[in-house]
Amino acid sequence: MQTHVSKSWKVAALAAAVVAATATAALAQKKINDVGVTDTEIKIGSSAPYSGPASAYATIAKTQAAYFKMINESGGINGRKINFISYDDGYSPPKTVEQIRKLVESDEVFAIFQLLGTPGNSAVAKYLNQKAVPHIFVGSGATKWADPTQSWSMGWQPNYQSEARIYSRYIQKNYPGKTVGILYQNDDFGKDYLTGFHEVFGKDTAKIIVAEVPFEITSPTVDSQVIQIKAANPDIFVTVATSKPAAQAIKKIGELNWHPVHFLSNVAVSVTSVLKPAGFENSQGILSAAYLKDPNDAQWKNDPGMNEWRAFMTKWYPEGDIGDAATVYGYGAAMGLEKVLRQCGNEMTRANLMKQMQNMNFDIGIYLPGVHISTSATDWSPIKQLQMMRFKGESWELFGPILDGSAGPS
């Protein structure tokens, strides 16, 4: 009888130990969720210019929606599906504010992802930081998105001051003594470029830059501004604009039969929405800088990263334009978010998301060789490198080394 009791006790103790171990393992695997997250879903919010003056960029959000659908079909992120909620803001800051408040307060999203444009992001940044809502992969190269003191906002693409430094250093080296005229969007987007040019030109700024002419994003055309800059007779024309005004500027320069050296901001290099509408004959020789592989560049015909993107486009976004670099941009940012969300593991909290945003260290196949994504607690600029390129025929041609636009001596 005693033996029987002893055996029973041992069996019970063993069973209890197994239960305890199982409970501990289950606890270790428990999913920790924050606002906008359940064990099966992650709500990601955004707004985009599906209408309005920057509607050419709507394809970015459409690409990202298709990417997240692909991820969901393959099981999601650590078992959670992405619920991507994206509204139209028409590239209008007041509308952006309205849509972001709706996403945060009504939809209760986990994070705001890839909100496009400097004006709209600037209009909501303070609100999102006060609400402690991650405002990430900001679709703007404004330098302020690399500032760690804005603890809930972080950019993605190379910042505008860095790009301007690269152009101005290139001008100093290749066009010494030449003068410059700048057409720029009259907001933080445009003014960031001016800061970069002024920083590099230094005491010679007033001598080199003979015209700085702003335009409003709501202006129907920039023709009068182009004419004003031509009157100052600069050797070099710099366009700091989004797609529509950039195309207008290129076309107007052609109509004037004017042939300055022309630099174009990276956000407006789309062959589909800028150079083709402006006229390929007007676009020859334009200079810019890139960090993405151009889908129209034959050298990437058999590139593994671009082949992966083409397969994605064919299956998940067949209505998208495979010649539009904006879709490559959207794809790369969506893949970046996927990687960061996977790094969060089962601790899907807003605080952990921001922690992982500061621990990026990976490559993405659709970026140029030498462009590496990296961040730290003190470095909030995920992408820092660019390569110069020139438009020839119907596509861009890369040339020269990978350049870093960081501040400091040339």
Any domain includes 225: yes
Any domain includes 357: yes
Per-residue pLDDT of the chain (410 residues; tens, 9 = 90+): 444 444 554 555 555 554 444 444 444 467 899 999 999 999 999 999 999 988 989 999 999 999 999 999 999 999 999 999 999 999 999 999 999 999 999 999 999 999 999 899 999 999 999 999 999 999 999 989 999 988 999 999 999 999 999 999 999 999 999 999 999 999 989 999 999 999 999 999 999 999 999 999 889 999 999 999 999 999 999 999 999 999 999 999 999 999 999 999 999 999 989 999 999 999 999 999 999 999 989 999 999 999 999 999 999 999 999 999 999 999 999 999 999 999 999 999 999 999 999 999 999 999 999 999 999 999 999 998 999 999 999 999 999 999 987 766 54
Same domain, 219 and 107: no
Total structural domains within the chain: 3
Any domain includes 410: no
pLDDT at 166: 94
Same domain, 167 and 109: no
pLDDT at 14: 53
Q: Which domain holds residue 309?
A: 41-158+299-379
CA distance 258 to 12: 91
pLDDT at 53: 86
Any domain includes 79: yes
Cα dihedral 379, 163, 58, 363 sign: negative
Same domain, 53 and 134: yes
Any domain includes 307: yes
Same domain, 153 and 165: no
How does strand 373-374 pair with strand 361-362? antiparallel
For residue 149, the domain's CATH number is 3.40.50.2300
CA distance 91 to 111: 20
Same domain, 194 and 146: no
Same domain, 264 and 396: yes
Cβ-based neighbours of 19, under 8 Å, separated by 6 or more: none
Any domain includes 409: no
3-state secondary structure of 140: coil
Instruction: Indicate whether this model's pTM tops 0.95.
Output: no
Same domain, 218 and 286: yes
Q: Where are the alpha helices (DSSP H) in 30-130?
A: 58-73, 93-101, 118-130
End-to-end CA distance of the chain: 90
Same domain, 312 and 238: no
Same domain, 277 and 151: no
Same domain, 230 and 311: no
Same domain, 54 and 91: yes
Please say whether the beta carbons of 149 and 129 come within 8 A: no
Please say whether the beta carbons of 172 and 410 come within 8 A: yes
**DSSP labels for 283-344?**
HTT-EEEESBPPTT-GGGTT-HHHHHHHHHHHHH-TTS-TT-HHHHHHHHHHHHHHHHHHHT
Beta bridge partners of 402: 387
Any domain includes 35: no
Same domain, 189 and 280: yes
Any domain includes 65: yes
CA distance 408 to 335: 32
**Residue whose entry in the numeric block shows the structure tokens 């906008």:** 36
